[in-house]
Amino acid sequence: MLTAFSNTPARERIIVALDCGKDEALALADKLAGHAVWMKVGMTLYYAHGPEVVRALKEKGFKVFLDLKLHDIPHQVKGAAKAVANSGADMMTMHTFGGVAMMQAAQEGVSLSASERGASPIVTLGVTVLTSMDDETLAGLGVGRSAADQVKALAEKAKEAQISGVVASPQEAAVLRGILGPDAYIVTPGVRPAGAALGDQSRVATPAKAFADGASHIVVGRPITQAEDPVAAFEAIVDEIQES
Ligand code: C5P
């Protein structure tokens, strides 16, 4: 599937999820320097160490995806999004379920930070339905739609709010690419290179399949971070993408 990202080099489309403690994360980053471009910092690492972790990764030359999944009233999210952008992060997340006004507020916060810093606005992504939730969970919460339909409905809201794109499972990528168009970011976790251990992920796709279905970027954690040789594991994924 041709997208605005089709000509982006493979290594710039892989985001390494650093789901570990700070020392381990920074040691991994040192190993992957010169190979990987993007690192993902999630809530566990961020709530323990704060913007210091983002700064340390930026100093090592990485782009940082700060995955804090903001969800609050628009005023609060605007301030939080601005703070996230000011920290030096290059990509951030919010829950689309916060609504169009909240997503627009996040975008405003990011734009305000960009104009104050004289930089381009960072990438803003919406999370639709968490993959830990299924049709039954949604029904229990009073949501009448199936998870698949809810993902589509929330993606439409992300489009309306004009944020950069969404986080989605590889299975949803093709449908979401149809809704969001060729320029949107569609970042997919749940990716496993051919033959890799699944861990706790159930609905997975290979990197090549995720991109063929319209992903702009893939998030890969344990297949790289828990490999005996993380650099070799990362480069094997780059090769797998380039060969496809
Ligand atoms: O180790 P693994 O490759 O499974 O890591 C995937 C990363 O993507 C983790 O940081 C996980 O929290 C995140 N993620 C996910 N599924 C989602 C959303 C985020 O696996 N639906």
Task: Give yes or no for residue 206 CB within 6 A of ligand 1.
Answer: no
Contact by Cβ (8 Å): 180, 186: yes
Ligand 1 centroid–CA 42 distance in Å is 9
Q: Say yes or no: CB of residue 42 within 6 Å of ligand 1.
A: yes
Res 206: pLDDT: 94
Give me the helix-helix angle, 100-117 and 74-86, nearest 10°: 30
pLDDT for position 202: 76
Q: Are strands 14-17 and 38-42 parallel, antiparallel or unpaired?
A: parallel
| Mean pLDDT value across the chain | 96
Which of 14, 19, 93, 191, when mutated, tests ligand 1's pocket best, judged by the most ligand atoms within 8 Å of its CB?
A: 19
- Tens digit of each residue's pLDDT (9 = 90 or more) over 163-199: 999 999 999 999 999 999 999 999 999 999 988 888 8
Write the pLDDT tens digit of every residue in 134-164: 999 999 999 999 999 999 999 999 999 999 9
How confident is the model over 97-113, as pLDDT tens digits? 999 999 999 999 999 99
CB atoms within 10 A of CB 206: 20
- Global pTM? 0.96
**Tokens coding 44:** 């566990």
32-42 mean pLDDT: 98
pLDDT at 203 over 80: no
Catalytic residues: 69
Average pLDDT over residues 213-242: 96
Q: Dihedral, CA atoms, 198, 201, 206, 207, nearest 10 degrees?
A: -120
